[in-house]
Structure 1
Amino acid sequence: MNYRHAFHAGNFADVLKHAVLTLCLAHLGKKANKPFAYIDTHAGIGRYDLSGSEAQRSPEWRDGIARLLAAERPEEVDRVLKPYLDTVRALNGGTGELTSYPGSPAIAAHMMGRSDRLHLCELHEADSVTLDRLFATDRRVKVEKRDGYRALKSLLPPKEKRGLVLVDPPFEHRDEMAHMAEAVVDAIPRFDTGTYIFWRPLKDMWAAERFDVGLAEWLLAEQGLQPEKILRADLWVRDPASEGKLSGAGVFVVNPPFTLEEDLLFVLPWLCDLFARDEDAGWRLDGGITEDSLAVDEF
């Protein structure tokens, strides 16, 4: 599949991904006197015009972030989503009107402090130029036209010794999961205390399960991580085996904040009901993930 961000900005998959991202950033930001680094391997253009041609051709944001903002949210759901929704509102002028959707780099830049640092990689030439222009006056941000997977070798560990790495490729290649796995094996030993968020679609279920199982086995057996240091959160709005548009997506998080699983337990069932397209919509949250909890026949 080809998942160029501009065509899907603000959809249900972005909502889940960015809700998780903001919760992780907020946790890192609690130690104001200890700066941290944010590394984005596939940064895109940073912000997406919802009146632009891509968003208009595929206005998935209407059934994603727009529906979420308009919904009456339970108190606990609103608490968990507050960092995310406050950021979206702030980057739209605080008026409540949606004119653009912030990508992960814009969200991170908004939430991070003056002494924190952002390193954004984007291989697509035109997109990297657009991204660089967006952050031209922000001294915290460095943009590189570079393969983000390969960049991790020189970027890790960050000098701050604290940080978050987001791996969110467009899945333009059939073997994207393999590329992501190779990057994981090289990156985590270099910076084993960092928080990693791996986004993947639930389109090819076999590939997603193979990545999840392989990564979990390697982290537990080879890297000695405790099960609570691994978390998977997935959401699908229709049968994941159905043809056509993306049915589901989720994140695999390494070294998540200790509160993340509990927070997502409030949010995922509610988001599933909000975004469901049919009765086959669902969600899953694996905390303390092990090989036994990773089984494709759950679907």
Structure 2
Amino acid sequence: MNSYILTVMLLDLEIKMLSYRHSYHAGNHADVLKHIVLTLCLESLKEKDKPFLYLDTHSGAGRYLLQSEHAEKTGEYLSGIAKLWEQPEIIDLLQPYFSVLKYYNRNPALKYYPGSPLIAKQLLRPQDKLVLTEIHSSDYPLLRQEFSKDHRAQVTKQDGFLQLKSKLPPESRRGLILIDPSYEIKDDYQKIAHALLEGYKRFSTGIYLIWYPVVSRKQTQHMIDDIIKTGIKRIVQIELAIRPDNNQKGMTASGMIVVNPPWKLKQQMHTILPWLQEILDPHHMGKITVNELVPES
């Protein structure tokens, strides 16, 4: 592909994404689930001294002010992280996640929500590496600034899906890849399985985390079916629904597809999800799921 065609494709992609800013949704129930799973997987990789790569395909701005115009307009964080923040006690498994929240909120008040890049930045060790990708013209400079003094990090303005070809396998042969598109671009649902397979062919031992929203259950299930059809083994689904599926506008649930999950992850989520449900969905209008989509053999 010549450079002119690639430039046109990237510009077209950026134009399509201009309507989406994660700052409207930071700290909502989907972020809570996503970042808990991410934290548990990062902590699992740290159990060995050998370094690893953290690759984030759709990084966002990194840090989100919860009193910003965007966050206040939707108020989504109020039914997400704000509810957890006010709990007098949390379960031990969530201590690493809350340690990051407390690092970016030194005062008792909850002011900032750290996105996945800042969670990784805080939890990774000096020997580990980060590759962060963001294509949005407003979010990319913010992300770059957050990591301007971090020698472990490479921040690029590119199509995140392309990183699954160019950055894998890592030199360390250990790594975690977070695939977290906005899904505002409708063909993101169709891209996921192909992108995952491209990465897996190059790096079959990595941990892959795929976040997904449930706005249309049919659309989401089609994406999950495509992932199953790749033939990849060891896939687990973790989902938190705060409302039943419906035909109304808005996200009723979100989930994580985990390829090569750490051996403790399913049991950890069996402990965490009921606690989360009691706080975020006290009337149990939705449901929680830990499901082995594809076994090891």
TM-score, reference length from structure 1:
0.88
Counterpart pick for 1:58 among 65, 74, 78 = 74
Counterpart pick for 1:266 among 253, 267, 271 = 271
Are 2:34 and 1:44 equivalent residues in the alignment? no
Counterpart of 1:127 in structure 2 is 139
1:134-169 residue CA offsets vs partner (Å, 9 max, x unmatched): 110111111100001012211000111100000011
- Contact 1:40/1:121, CA 8 A, preserved across alignment: yes
SS at match of 1:166: strand
For these two proteins, the number of residue pairs brought into alignment is 278
Report sequence identity in percent. Answer: 37
Counterpart of 1:209 in structure 2 is 221
* Matched letter for residue 55 of structure 1: A
- Contact 1:217/1:290, CA 8 A, preserved across alignment: no
- Contact 2:85/2:110, CA 8 A, preserved across alignment: no
Give the Cα–Cα distance (whole angstroms) in 2 for the partners of residues 169 and 92 of structure 1.
26
Counterpart pick for 1:90 among 103, 106, 121 = 103
RMSD between aligned alpha carbons? 1.8
Question: Runs ≥4 in structure 1, deviation > 6 angstroms?
Answer: none
**Any gaps of 5 or more consecutive residues in structure 2?**
1-16
Give the Cα–Cα distance (whole angstroms) in 2 for the partners of residues 239 and 277 of structure 1.
14
Cα deviation, residue 67, structure 1: 0.4
Report the CA distance shift for 1:40/1:178 in structure 2 as closer, same or farther (over 3 A): same
Counterpart of 1:110 in structure 2 is 122
Give the Cα–Cα distance (whole angstroms) in 2 for the partners of residues 275 and 3 of structure 1.
25
Cα deviation, residue 245, structure 1: 2.6
Give the Cα–Cα distance (whole angstroms) in 1 for the partners of residues 76 and 119 of structure 2.
19
- Contact 1:237/1:278, CA 8 A, preserved across alignment: no
Cα deviation, residue 280, structure 1: 2.8
Cα deviation, residue 13, structure 1: 0.6
Report the CA distance shift for 1:206/1:18 in structure 2 as closer, same or farther (over 3 A): same
Give the Cα–Cα distance (whole angstroms) in 1 for the partners of residues 202 and 182 of structure 2.
25
Cα deviation, residue 278, structure 1: 5.4
* Matched letter for residue 237 of structure 2: R
Counterpart of 1:31 in structure 2 is 48
Report 1:280-295 matches (<5 A): 280-287=285-292, 289-290=293-294
Report the CA distance shift for 1:64/1:82 in structure 2 as closer, same or farther (over 3 A): same
Give the Cα–Cα distance (whole angstroms) in 1 for the partners of residues 160 and 282 of structure 2.
34
* Matched letter for residue 80 of structure 1: L
SS at match of 1:233: strand
Are 2:260 and 1:247 equivalent residues in the alignment? no
Cα deviation, residue 286, structure 1: 0.3
Cα deviation, residue 214, structure 1: 2.3
SS at match of 2:230: helix
Counterpart of 2:176 in structure 1 is 164
* Matched letter for residue 112 of structure 1: L
Are 2:152 and 1:140 equivalent residues in the alignment? yes
Counterpart of 2:203 in structure 1 is 191
Give the Cα–Cα distance (whole angstroms) in 2 for the partners of residues 161 and 271 of structure 1.
34
1:78-135 residue CA offsets vs partner (Å, 9 max, x unmatched): 1121111111111212x33211000000000000001110000001122111100111
- Contact 1:44/1:128, CA 8 A, preserved across alignment: yes
